[in-house]
Structure 1
Amino acid sequence: MQITLKDIARMAGVAESTVSRALNDKPGVGQETKAKILKLAQKYNYRPNQLARGLAVNKTNMIAVILAEMDSPGNIEIVKNIEKAAEEVDYQIILCNTNNDLKKEKSYLSLLEANQVDGAIFIGGKLVSSQLLRLSFEEKNPMVLVNRLAEENFFTSVLTNYSQGIYKAVEHLFEQGFRKIALICGDKDNLTESEKINGYYQAYTEAGFSVNEDLIFSTGADRTSGYNAFLEIMNRDIIPDAFISTRELTTIGLVEAIKFGGYFIPDDFAVVGYGDNILTSVIDPPLTVLNEPAAELAKLSFDFLLKLIKDKLEGQQIKVLTPELIVRESSIAKYN
């Protein structure tokens, strides 16, 4: 059982306030008493209750990272980089997974309302809820959005330009001579996925080509969905010559289905995936990917939040970053 400040006070025969002053190097404690208290703290490996101490001074040195999708490798990479940035300035994170459930998100918002954390970073998710919008109007609730939108954006935000990312992928495939490009994406009602679809339309329109709706396929975000998407697309009237998958796990399933069907990449189908991580790195041939700048998204969001906490951010800040297209063998036309 962890020793408390009250335990040290009892063993030293002094008041708890005296122990607190000694441990925090405050005046008003004799040298002999201070030495005795410090020795006891060291002997019993005393660690202060950070939350309790934080509540007393309205500061906890903890932030909540509220994640909409735990199964997204890209989101996890952002979380890891936020944690790294936080540790560098002696902050800790509390990770909260909502699984896109607004009721769960509301329960996690209580951490912010009760001052149990100094601020919150929201990663991904549906359109900002009324509860979250209400909290944003109170200065005591510092918060930053990462890849999440609001109808009226009162939030400091760091966003990925998903539309521009997919535009670049389609443009690259056009340059390689591919014209019938299938887009395997998420729900069209999902804000980030709808942005990716917009980028697809824009690239086709500006190139002077018409879009075949049968080449846009909305599916789940898991590996099996990517696999099944390929099978279903191959049963449609138009057979693509290239694929763009907008999420990491569907990309894995897509590639598996292509190979299991006896086809070759890029000889039969070119493929552009999403996310440059351990999952996509093991694909053969080496996979062309759109890679989100996770480290920069994390650093900017944490820096913004820290400034909000310290009341040093001048006005609302919105930063938009563009994914990098990393070209590898999977999208290079054999006879181009």
Structure 2
Amino acid sequence: MQITLKDIARMAGVAESTVSRALNDKPGVGKETRLKILKIAKENNYRPNQLARGLAAKKTNMIAVILAEMDSPGNIEIVKSIEKAAEKRGYQIILCNTNNQEDKEESYLSLLESNQVDGAIFIGGKLVGSHLLKASFSQDNRIVLVNRLAEENFFTSVLTDYSQGLYKAVEHLLKENFKKIALVCGNRDNLVEEEKISGYKNALRDSGLEVNEELIFSTANNRQAGYNVFLEIIEGDVIPDSFISTRELTTIGLVEAIKMGGYFIPDDFAVVGYGDNILTSVIDPPLTVLGEPVEKLGKSSLEFLLELINEKMDSQQIKVLTPELIIRESSISKYN
């Protein structure tokens, strides 16, 4: 059982306040008494309750990292980057998953409001709701958004330029002489996915091509959805020569369906995926992807938050990062 401040006081025959002063190297404790207390603490492997100390000092050296969904490898990599940067600065993280549920997000926000954490980083999710907007008007707004959008953004944010990323992917496929490019994306009500759709459309229009809405397919974010959408496409009136898939799990199902149908990548269909991680790395042939700058997203968001915590930020900051197009075999035309 973990020894407490009260236990040390009893063993040393002194008041708890005396133990506290001795352990925190504060005046008002005699030399012999201080040494006696420190010896007892060391022999019993005493560890201070960081949360209790933090609540008293209004600082915990803990940060809440609040994820909208945990089935995104990209989001998990961002969390790892935040954790790595936080440890170097003497902070720990508490990982919270809302599963896109507003009531859970509001509950986790209370950790910040009750000073159980020093700040919060929200990663992904729907349009910022009223509870978060309300928090933004607080003078003690210690919140950073990562890849989270708001109609009126009062938050310091680190964002990925999804539109520019998809623009790059379309440009690449067009250069490889693929003309009928299908987009397999998420729900159009999702602002992140809408940004990707916008980039796809802009690239086609800027290249003098019409946007064919029959080549845009919204699916759920899972492997089976990616598999099923290819079966749907192959039976349709417009058959594409290439695909851009905006999420990792969907991409895996899509590639599986292409292969199971007896088709070859990229001979029959070129494929560009999203996210350069363990899931996309196992696809054969090697997959061309839009690699999200996860390391920079995590590090930048942590640096911004520490500035807010330490009151070193004069005004709201927004940093926008662009995905990198990593070209591999899955999108190289044999006719070039």
TM bucket, shorter chain: over 0.9
- CA contact under 8 A between 1:64 and 1:121: conserved in structure 2? yes
Residue ranges of structure 2 left out of the alignment (5+ in a row): none
**Distance in 2 separating the partners of 1:224 and 1:32:** 70
User: 1:31: Cα distance to partner?
Assistant: 2.0
Does the residue aligned with 2:63 lie in a helix, a strand or coil?
Answer: strand
- Matched residue pairs, number? 336
Give deviations 1:239-298, integer Å, cap 9, x for gaps: 110000000111111111111111111011000001111111111111100011001001
Pair 1:39-2:39 in alignment: yes
Does the residue aligned with 1:183 lie in a helix, a strand or coil?
Answer: strand
**Distance in 2 separating the partners of 1:245 and 1:295:** 22
- CA contact under 8 A between 1:180 and 1:241: conserved in structure 2? yes
**Distance in 1 separating the partners of 2:129 and 2:275:** 28
Pair 1:276-2:276 in alignment: yes
Does the residue aligned with 1:14 lie in a helix, a strand or coil?
Answer: coil
| Within-5 A mapping of 1:211-250 | 211-250=211-250
Does the residue aligned with 1:79 lie in a helix, a strand or coil?
Answer: helix
Aligned to 2:165: 165
Which runs of at least 4 in structure 1 moved beyond 4 Å after TM superposition?
none
**Distance in 2 separating the partners of 1:299 and 1:139:** 24
User: 1:16: Cα distance to partner?
Assistant: 1.0
Does the residue aligned with 2:165 lie in a helix, a strand or coil?
Answer: helix
| Within-5 A mapping of 1:192-203 | 192-203=192-203
Does the residue aligned with 1:214 lie in a helix, a strand or coil?
Answer: helix
User: 1:34: Cα distance to partner?
Assistant: 1.5
- CA contact under 8 A between 1:227 and 1:250: conserved in structure 2? yes
Amino acid at match of 1:37: I
- CA contact under 8 A between 1:65 and 1:94: conserved in structure 2? yes
Aligned to 2:26: 26
User: 1:224: Cα distance to partner?
Assistant: 0.9
Amino acid at match of 1:165: G
- CA contact under 8 A between 1:113 and 1:141: conserved in structure 2? no
User: 1:211: Cα distance to partner?
Assistant: 1.2
Give deviations 1:174-218, integer Å, cap 9, x for gaps: 000000011000000100000000001000000000111111000
Identity %: 77
Aligned to 2:126: 126
Amino acid at match of 1:164: Q
User: 1:27: Cα distance to partner?
Assistant: 2.0
**Distance in 2 separating the partners of 1:2 and 1:262:** 62
Aligned to 1:86: 86
Amino acid at match of 2:60: T
- CA contact under 8 A between 1:112 and 1:141: conserved in structure 2? no
- CA contact under 8 A between 2:141 and 2:308: conserved in structure 1? no
Greater CA drift, 173-182 or 140-149? 140-149
**Distance in 2 separating the partners of 1:278 and 1:110:** 34
Q: CA RMSD in A?
A: 0.8
Does the residue aligned with 2:66 lie in a helix, a strand or coil?
Answer: strand
**Distance in 2 separating the partners of 1:71 and 1:32:** 56
Aligned to 1:334: 334
Aligned to 2:252: 252
Aligned to 1:184: 184
User: 1:28: Cα distance to partner?
Assistant: 2.0
**Distance in 1 separating the partners of 2:317 and 2:71:** 28
